[in-house]
Amino acid sequence: MLYTTILFDADETLLDFRAAETAALHEVFRSRGLPTDGEFVDAYRSINNGLWERFNRGEIEKREITDTRFVRLFERFHVPLDGVAFNRFYLDELSRHGVALPGAEALCGSLRDAGCALYIITNGVGFVQKRRFRESGLAPYFAGTFISEEIGAGKPSAVFFDYVLRHIPQQDKRRILVVGDSLSADVAGGSAAGLDTCWYDRTRANTPNGATYTVHDFKQLQKLILGGFDMKDLQTLQTMIDESERIVIFSGAGVSTESGIPDFRGADGLYQKKEKQFDYPPETMLSHTFFKHHPEIFFDYYRTKMIYPDAKPNASHTAAAALERKGKLSAVVTQNIDGLYQQAGVRRVLELHGSTLHNTCTRCGKKSGLDAILSTDGVPRCVCGGIIKPDVVLYEESLDADVIEQAVEAIAGADCLIVAGTSLTVYPAAGFVRYFRGGRFVLINRDETPMDSQADLILRDNVGKVFESLKI
């Protein structure tokens, strides 16, 4: 478990504020003979939201929100009532409406049972938020509540987050996660305080944001917090990387799946499925014999299932590039054929199974890029008339001897070997790993591998998530 302390925003993250606000507004408007229709309520919401946004940007004090929102509303609609007094009346009513969002209680229960310390961090009026929180039934799961009014500053200000950090036991910032629905208050404030943040994008707005993570429902959030590697193991890996000078990353399909490229041999992999639109199993279609005898079907399959020109590098690829720039990476040895390491800027990539980005004419040997395949239909032909063949190692073909030699040399000379995203069951992966003689053999893979017992360190998680958490 990476995060053991979770700072939760309250409204629209765990509590249904919209429902509470609507119920309270209707109640107070109705009791004073004011309209409860859309126009009046919407006008209030728009005034209130505008004030909160200005507060989040640090332009106004909190008091200005509560003291002026009904005053402005009543001015606009010529209502002869005291807006400041009405606000107190409204807050009292609001404090009676604390409704947890569906699934919030189950989430908090599972996190607490797993040993997480949960805290509320909320902008709002003290007595209102406290009472609503009690009403919601969530209070028993929480170790504490931090409310802006009581601290004298609100999210996203540094004063607020500093106060919170001084008043919780967890002092390792890397083990604290801020969860909230507001990019301006929760995500911006948490990030500025040096904390990892999770944007709860319940409405699936998918806005570009600076959050460490984005989740759309409580299930994803629960998996994010409870799944994965331990922080101690991450720190061990960080130390190993810091102390190593000749790192080799040996990677497999698990690194590419996180860029949206299907795993050839995984549970959902291409090789597991009988491809309906093709009459042959993929292993057959990707063999040298098949390429020779049925090039039309080969290229049909190859274009449909093997090429992903829109795939983008993920954290695993960019971390390798960063290590290489620092002079700490000897080479990436990969079974992947997608060229994503090069796209991320890695210069020394030893591609055991070749690359979909390069092609060679089978007659004259002329080299061409991916475009030779993408911009043509059927069997791609060279200007000389020969068939253009992808530089991908097909079944029945042997690996490139020069690439093998360089890979063995790099691994044998490495002081740290990171095997990532491969179960090491596919020939010749395990064979290469045996050449490693250094003292830091790291496995990063979701599933067990036959070499687990020999590893110095194992992190069972998505490779991208691990690399993303490292400081390189």
* Active-site annotation, residues: 353
Interface segment toward Zn ion; rule CB under 5 A; list 61-69, 136-144, 374-382, 453-461? 374-382
The contacts of residue 453 (CB under 8 Å, 6+ apart) are none
Tokens of 428: 């010749």
Interface segment toward Zn ion; rule CB under 5 A; list 261-269, 326-334, 385-393, 443-451? 385-393
Strand partners, 329: 247
Q: Does 41 bind Zn ion (CB under 5 A)?
A: no
98 vs 380 by CB, closer to Zn ion: 380
159 vs 364 by CB, closer to Zn ion: 364
Least distance between Zn ion and beta carbon 356 (Å): 19
Q: Does 382 bind Zn ion (CB under 5 A)?
A: yes
358 vs 460 by CB, closer to Zn ion: 358
114 vs 364 by CB, closer to Zn ion: 364
366 vs 446 by CB, closer to Zn ion: 366
Q: Does 366 bind Zn ion (CB under 5 A)?
A: yes
* Residues between 255 and 314 with contacts to Zn ion, criterion CB under 5 A: none
Residue whose C-alpha is closest to residue 160's, from 180, 190, 140, 133: 190
One-character DSSP codes across 236-290 = HHHHHHHH-SSEEEEE-HHHHHTTTPPPSSSTT-GGGS--TTSSS-HHHHTBHHH
Q: Does 376 bind Zn ion (CB under 5 A)?
A: no
Cα distance between residue 470 and residue 464, in whole Å: 10
User: Which residue matches tokens 């126009």?
Assistant: 39
Least distance between Zn ion and beta carbon 377 (Å): 18
Least distance between Zn ion and beta carbon 288 (Å): 19
Least distance between Zn ion and beta carbon 362 (Å): 8
Interface segment toward Zn ion; rule CB under 5 A; list 351-359, 366-374, 399-407, 437-445? 366-374
The 3 state secondary structure assigned to 29-92 is HHHCCCCCCHHHHHHHHHHHHHHHHHHHCCCCCHHHHHHHHHHHHHHHCCCCCCHHHHHHHHHH
Least distance between Zn ion and beta carbon 394 (Å): 19
Interface segment toward Zn ion; rule CB under 5 A; list 258-266, 294-302, 384-392, 409-417? 384-392
Please give the order of strands across the beta sheet that includes 367-369: 367-369, 354-361, 388-392
Q: Is the bond leading into 156 cis (omega within 30 degrees of zero)?
A: yes
Q: Is the bond leading into 428 cis (omega within 30 degrees of zero)?
A: yes
Tell me phi and psi for residue 26, to 5 degrees.
Answer: -60, -40
- Read off the DSSP letter of residue 175: G
Interface segment toward Zn ion; rule CB under 5 A; list 117-125, 254-262, 353-361, 452-460? 353-361
The contacts of residue 42 (CB under 8 Å, 6+ apart) are none
Q: Which of 227, 386, 413, 438 binds Zn ion (CB under 5 A)?
A: 386
Interface segment toward Zn ion; rule CB under 5 A; list 122-130, 179-187, 358-366, 399-407? 358-366
Least distance between Zn ion and beta carbon 361 (Å): 3
365 vs 431 by CB, closer to Zn ion: 365
Least distance between Zn ion and beta carbon 357 (Å): 18
Least distance between Zn ion and beta carbon 392 (Å): 18
Rg (CA), the chain: 29
379 vs 457 by CB, closer to Zn ion: 379
Q: Which of 72, 363, 381, 460 binds Zn ion (CB under 5 A)?
A: 363
238 vs 362 by CB, closer to Zn ion: 362
Please give the size of the binding site for Zn ion, defined by CB under 5 A. Answer: 7
CA distances from 274 to 270, 288, 345 (A): 8, 20, 36
Q: Which of 185, 361, 407, 466 binds Zn ion (CB under 5 A)?
A: 361
- Read off the DSSP letter of residue 361: E
Q: Does 388 bind Zn ion (CB under 5 A)?
A: no
Distance of CA 182 to the CA centre of its chain: 17
Q: Which of 378, 384, 450, 454 binds Zn ion (CB under 5 A)?
A: 384
Cα distance between residue 90 and residue 28, in whole Å: 6
Interface residues with Zn ion (CB under 5 A) are 361, 363-364, 366, 382, 384, 386
